[in-house]
């Protein structure tokens, strides 16, 4: 590596800067490699690294396709899961898991089990539509609580917006 930097005429400060900037990417690849080793130990087969907005790895366990998102952060593993991402996960043909890796320990969990309650309900609603088609009455009845919560949030946001307009 230092030969390459010498050939390019880069000094030590530039090398340190590059390594500092690349640290996150390098650690990401190391965690990805570790994830593959962990999944092999857990008996997963046909492990493939993929570039997908919903998962990092596709693998087979007990003859079933699994989609695995790798998380190695101090934050909640589903903190940045938007409604769009949850919808994309619901469209997958197989179980979606999250491999949580922290402090040298790991846990493989079904993603649905670690979603917040509103996100779980959204996920369930989308699965219902995917598996049984959209029947407005059924969806409204089963997810009445989600609809009510959503209406409350809309009301709160409208009130907040009107207060912001009054106080420039």
CATH code of 6's domain: 3.40.1350.10
* 163 is a domain residue: no
Q: In this structure, is residue 139 part of a structural domain?
A: no
Q: Is the residue at 73 inside a domain?
A: yes
The count of structural domains within the chain is: 1
The parent domain of residue 51 ranges over 2-113
pLDDT at 110: 96
46, 141, 142 from 32: Cα distances, Å: 15, 42, 39
Query: The pTM is what?
Result: 0.73
104 assigned to some structural domain? yes
- The region of weakest confidence among 32-36, 51-55, 94-98, 136-140 is 136-140
- pLDDT tens digits along 136-155: 666 667 667 766 766 677 77
Q: Is 140 domain-assigned?
A: no
What's the CA gap between 34 and 161, in Å, rounded? 46
Does 166 have pLDDT greater than 60?
A: no
Query: Model confidence over 21-34: pLDDT tens digits?
Result: 998 888 888 899 99
Q: Is residue 78 part of a domain?
A: yes
């Amino acid at each position: 590596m230092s030969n390459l930097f010498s050939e390019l005429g880069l000094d030590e400060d530039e090398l340190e800067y590059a390594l500092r900037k690349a640290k996150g990417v390098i650690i990401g690849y190391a965690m990805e490699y570790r994830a593959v080793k962990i999944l092999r130990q857990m008996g997963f087969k046909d492990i493939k690294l993929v570039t997908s907005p919903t998962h990092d790895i596709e693998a087979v366990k007990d003859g079933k396709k699994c989609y695995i998102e790798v998380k190695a952060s101090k934050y909640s593993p589903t903190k940045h899961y938007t409604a769009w991402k949850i919808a994309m996960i619901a469209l997958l043909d197989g179980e979606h898991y999250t491999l949580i890796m922290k402090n040298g320990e790991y846990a493989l969990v079904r993603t649905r089990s670690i979603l917040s309650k509103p996100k779980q309900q959204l996920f369930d609603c989308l699965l219902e539509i995917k598996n049984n088609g959209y029947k407005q009455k059924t969806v409204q009845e089963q997810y009445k609580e989600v609809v009510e919560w959503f209406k409350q949030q809309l009301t709160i946001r409208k009130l907040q917006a009107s207060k912001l307009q009054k106080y420039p």
